[in-house]
Structure formats: C-alpha cells, structure tokens
Amino acid sequence: MKALFFFRYVLARLTYLVLRLPVARFQAEVEDLWGLVPNERLQRLSRILNKNQPKDAQGVAVHSLSELPDRPPMSKADLRAMSAASSTVASGFSRHTAGTTGEPTHISLSRTELAQMLAVRAYCYNKHGLKLGQREARVWGRAANSLTAKIRDFLLNRKVFYPAEDGAEETVEKLVKWSPEYLYGYTSLILEAAQIAQKKGLKPRGVKAVICTAESILPAQKKFIAEVFGAPVFEEYGSTEFDVIAFECSRGHLHLVNPWLWVEEEEDTVLITDVSRKSQSIVRYQLGDSVSLAKADCSELGSMCSIEELRGRTAQQFAYINPEQKFHAVVFGRALNTYMERTGDCFKFTVSQIDYGEFEICISIDPILGQEDFNSFLKDYLKCSLSLREEFIIKVVVREDRAAEGKHTYFIQSL
C-alpha cells in the first residue's frame, strides 16, 4: 500500500512537470518572500507592481503600493468589462467563479500564475506535514463525468466524494475505504461525512489533516470532525480568482499566505490587489466578503497579519429586529457554537430572516436537551449579547436538508 501511495504521489508531481508548472521553484520563492523583513517585502512587491503596472477600475496604471489607497475599488463587473476589452492572451488556463454574488466571472491564468497559486498551496500544506500530490479525498459536489475530468483526478491523485442525497452512507464508506492522506472540501459536506462515519462506526485510518474551505466552520464543528477522522482540522480562505488567500496555522491563526497579494480592509469589505498578475489587472478587487484583519503574534505561517474573523458575504451580513435596529448575522454563529460547546451537540444550521424580528433556524438534528431548551438559550443569548429589549420570534425547525451542489449558506436575508 505504501508503495502504491508513493507511486501515485510521484505521478502527480510528474504531471506538474509535464504541464510545465514549476511549482517547486515558486514554492521556494514563497518561502523567500515570507522570510523577508516587512519593509524588504514591501519594497519587493512595489518593484513587481511597478514592473507590471496593472490598471485600476478606471483603466489608470498603478506604479506603487503607496498609490493603492487612492485608487477606486474594482467590482466583479469592472473586472469582466476590462477583461473583455483586453487583448492580453493567457497561456490557456482559465477558471470561472460560481457566481454566488451575481454573474459568473472568467479568470484567465498564465502558466506562471497557475504555478504560483499551486506553490502557495504547497507551501501551506508543507507547514502541516502534507505534500501537494498526496492522496486527496475531495469532499465536493458531484464529480464531473467526463473522461478529461477522470484523467485529471487520477493524475492529480484525488478522488471526489459527494456525501449527500441518496447513497450518502455508501459514499462515506467508500471514502474511508479509499484511505486518503487528507480531506479537502466544503465544511458542510465534511461535517455530513463525519456524522455519517460516527453513526456507522467507521474508523478512518491514515488521515493526516482535514482542510475545510469555501464555508465558515465553528470551533465545535471543527472539534467534532477532528475526533471522527483522527486528524487536525484546518480552515482555508480562498477564492476562484486567487486560490488560497489565508490558511490556518497549528495555533489557530488564519494567516494571509499568498505573498503576491496585497490585502486591505475598507468599510467592512476586503479588497485584494495581485501585484504579479499579468493576464488580468486585479487592483483593489472587491471579493464580496467581510473580514476583520489583525496582527497576530505568530510567525508560523505566511504573514503576521491574519483574518481575525471571517464574517462572510457582504450581501448577507445583517439581521434586523426592526427597520432601525440591526445586528451582524455572525452573532448567530457565535450563539450556535456556544450552545454546541455547552451541550456536546454538533449539527448543521441555516438561519433565515422571515420578517423584522422574526427568524427561522433550521437545524439538521434534534438538540440533545430538546428544542425548547435550544430556543430559550438562543433568545437569552441574543438579548444578553445585543442588549435587546424589544421582543422577537425564533422558530426552530429540525430538518435534514441535504446539501446542495454549491456552497452552504448559514444566513439568508429574506426581507
């Protein structure tokens, strides 16, 4: 078995070489850039930016990092329009966003740019004892049924599992039997797989890490997944446009890890500039997420700057008690995590705002202490943490909603 695992790993690494993607060379550059003192790294990034001179949302070239604060934010619509008008031709690699914030966006990449993305991922994995190309269980939507996709997954040493809808238990049994070295995928689907594995008494062996991406994960959920799979759980924050943006270290900090990205927090919105991108100009790009950045006293991975709180899509941020009184929906996540830590529960949930001061919370299983206790806790938590005096309604619904193909949304604003 070890010989087979090693052969498949070598085959995956050879695939990168055949595609002329110098991942190892750029991984060394990632290490080098993060090894520089902050001022030296800023100077290096400014030189790269000045050499490429990407254009901002108004089509004006940017020459240095110091110019960025005065440049207008770039929307997804701006990027689509600029890309359509550009004559720049990439080397044949492309991606498409899922369009969760509107119309899907086309991302073009050169070989160098794709290799840089893979190098950042390899750098993060290496810090946790993993190697790009090891046996990966991708807990995702349904695997593409084309011959090209099957060949790609085989060469990259990964297999796609979709533990939802009919056949979920059989899927998880196959996942465990396949003996992946790590799991990578949507938090909601990995949690679904963990719950099925626990229910079926399955004992995963040889898993070195579980990487949750695309969706937020609560500490209580992370602890449950780690216990079931017998491996540490790490959170990744990324996007189709940039791949990995931040990655969790062993101390729990979600570090910024792509050394070629300049990340800003402005008016509760994250703005990203890629100083090295040549195929497309991406300057102060509005990713559509709300994050809180902070300096962490930790140099274990990437930047000393980390994402202190990932609040999610800016379009789904606020819950309303009345037209004048609102609060950030991330409070629901804190409340649910506190409850699960107190009771030992672990479930998926979705909060929907039905009307002003009226919320429906759909949870995947009955709470151990019952719905009445759960409802009472939530009301008390919200009243205390938000100093609410006005009455509001919380309706708890227990329903095992099978995961959709795309990302799971934790808060839905239906007003």
Residue carrying structure tokens 């819950």: 319
The answer to whether the beta carbons of residues 413 and 353 sit under 8 Å apart is yes
DSSP label of 74: B
pLDDT at 290: 78
Residues constituting the chain = 415
**How many Å is the Cα radius of gyration of the chain?**
22
Dump the DSSP string for 129-167: T--TTS-EEEE-SPPP-SHHHHHHHHHTTEEEE---STT
Dist. CA 188–CA 194, nearest whole Å: 10
Dist. CA 10–CA 264, nearest whole Å: 38
pLDDT at 407: 59
The answer to whether the beta carbons of residues 83 and 59 sit under 8 Å apart is no
CB within 8 Å of 85: residues ≥ 6 apart: none
Dist. CA 187–CA 65, nearest whole Å: 35
Dist. CA 198–CA 48, nearest whole Å: 50
244 bridge partner residues: 238
CB within 8 Å of 384: residues ≥ 6 apart: none
CB within 8 Å of 167: residues ≥ 6 apart: none
pLDDT at 101: 47
Report strand pairing: 358-363 vs 393-398.
parallel
Dist. CA 208–CA 253, nearest whole Å: 19
CB within 8 Å of 28: residues ≥ 6 apart: none
Least Cα distance to 219 among 233, 207, 208 occurs for 233
C-alpha of 10 from chain center: 27
Least Cα distance to 191 among 225, 165, 227 occurs for 225
Q: Phi-psi bin for 326: left (phi > 0), alpha (psi -120 to 50), beta?
A: beta
Residue carrying structure tokens 């800023």: 42
* Sequence-ordered strand ranges (E) for 88-242: 93-96, 106-109, 136-139, 158-161, 182-186, 209-213, 233-239
Question: Which residues of the chain fall below pLDDT 70?
Answer: 87-92, 96-104, 165, 268, 311-317, 400-409, 415
Dist. CA 394–CA 100, nearest whole Å: 27
Tens-digit pLDDT profile for residues 57-104: 999 999 999 999 999 999 888 888 887 777 555 456 777 665 544 456
Residue 92 C-beta-side C-alpha neighbours within 13 Å: 3
pLDDT at 396: 87
Tens-digit pLDDT profile for residues 28-48: 999 999 999 989 999 999 999
